[in-house]
Amino acid sequence: MNERRNVVIAGGGPAGSATALRLARAGVDVRVVERAKFPRRKVCGEYLNAGAVAALDDLGVLDAVKAASAPLRGVRLVAEGAPPVVLPFRRPALACAREVLDAILLDAASAAGAVVEHARVEEVMVDEGWAAGVYVRTPEGELEERPARYVVGADGVGSVIARRCEMTKPPPRSARYAVGGHYAGFAGLDGHVEMYVGGGAYFALNPLSDVRANVMVVVPKERLGQWSRDVDAGLGGAAAALGRGVRSFEGVTRLGPRVSVGPLAYATYVAYQADTVLVGDAAGFLDPFTGQGMFLALSGAERAAAAILCALETNGPLWDPLEEYARWRARDVAWRGRLSKAVALLVDVPLLARRAAERIQRFPDAGAALIDALSGIVPPQRAFRPSVLGRLLA
């Protein structure tokens, strides 16, 4: 094992930047290697739940983020066969374009002393079975070494770090795909995230301002295949069908490119092994329907940075804080995954959706508690109490 006190992080998205920011502030010599030139677009619904907002506050960047965001009041959910449901947010949530948010976080990491390098991580350097840094491909095409005591994979879904260290699980056979973009011209945007759900698909609209919205339509792979001749027509048709007369693309204009991503599934066996730590989506990915990804990236970064600091200080074999980080991550993601599946069941099965809609009207506290669990305000397991999901399903 080497004795260095430095850390190299693959990926300068929210997970990588937040980890770097925390480590740099603690005096660690940290380098972020990011393949994209910032500001860059990232396919995302761009909803920041209350837990993510609190994490940004803790990082000291909330004022900058707020200045570029729109406040959100709640979510309006329209499921097939059920009346619309409004779930208010009890704590501040925001809509913020990722090209702005991610640049704020990476700039903050750089200002705190992290070295930010524009290059592509291609391989993990290995010394006697332990990670010893990464090989990067520079913009000039050179393959160079970046030695480090710890390697952090924060390079998102399909992480090269996770793949090279054989931490990635085989992909599932069926998964959904997302297509969307930024649009202008939707009438009546009122600070609610709007979700229109049915038939294993959904149409999510997140108001980035009074006039501009992020739109994501998520469909099974087979449906996407049917759009191949005219993706815009397929997308508009799906939005109109899911929007059920309330929303459609009529009269709206796309601002910038159409974006797509999929399959929306990716998992790893473990978030730490042999001096390699995975953070954010690189460690695993939840279906984005419940909007927990940014919170997971930022809360995971906080835990991972604390564990790395502790490991750098103790450097002892008796207790490994990084093993503990991996155990926390596995537990947390397992509960969040269960919660996502429970919510998917509630909104995808018309009979359950109708019952849940009625119950939320009768027991608004149960709906509020569900939002708190999804937003990282309380642990996800709290949603499984009889007073929350039990009440909505009974």
Ligand X SMILES: Cc1cc2nc3c(=O)[nH]c(=O)nc-3n(C[C@H](O)[C@H](O)[C@H](O)COP(=O)(O)OP(=O)(O)OC[C@H]3O[C@@H](n4cnc5c(N)ncnc54)[C@H](O)[C@@H]3O)c2cc1C
What is the crossing angle of helices 14-25 and 50-59, to 10°? 30
- 74 near ligand X, rule: CB under 6 A: no
| Among 51, 291, 367, 380, interactor with ligand X by CB under 6 A | 291
Nearer to ligand X, 237 or 262 (CB): 262
Rounded CA gap, 189 and 230, in Å? Answer: 28
- Binding-site size for ligand X (CB under 6 A) equals 38
- 14 near ligand X, rule: CB under 6 A: yes
- 207 near ligand X, rule: CB under 6 A: no
Give me the residues paired with residue 321 across strands.
Answer: none
Per the structure block, which two tokens stand in for 292? 């927990």
- 385: CB partners within 8 A, 6+ apart: 369
Please report how close the Cβ of residue 90 comes to ligand X at its closest, in angstroms: 18
* 361, 366, 369, 370: CA torsion to nearest 10: -80
Please report how close the Cβ of residue 354 comes to ligand X at its closest, in angstroms: 26
Segment interacting with ligand X (CB under 6 A) among 38-46, 85-93, 306-314, 317-325: 38-46
| Among 160, 308, 346, 373, interactor with ligand X by CB under 6 A | 160
- 53 near ligand X, rule: CB under 6 A: no
| Among 7, 8, 9, 15, interactor with ligand X by CB under 6 A | 15
- 133 near ligand X, rule: CB under 6 A: no
* 92, 94, 100, 104: CA torsion to nearest 10: 20
- 278 near ligand X, rule: CB under 6 A: no
Rounded CA gap, 285 and 262, in Å? Answer: 12
- 33 near ligand X, rule: CB under 6 A: yes
Burial class (CB in 10 A: 0-12, 13-18, 19+), 101: buried
Contact residues: ligand X, CB under 6 A: 10-16, 33-36, 42-47, 52, 120-121, 154-156, 160, 178, 216, 261, 264, 280-282, 288, 291-295, 297
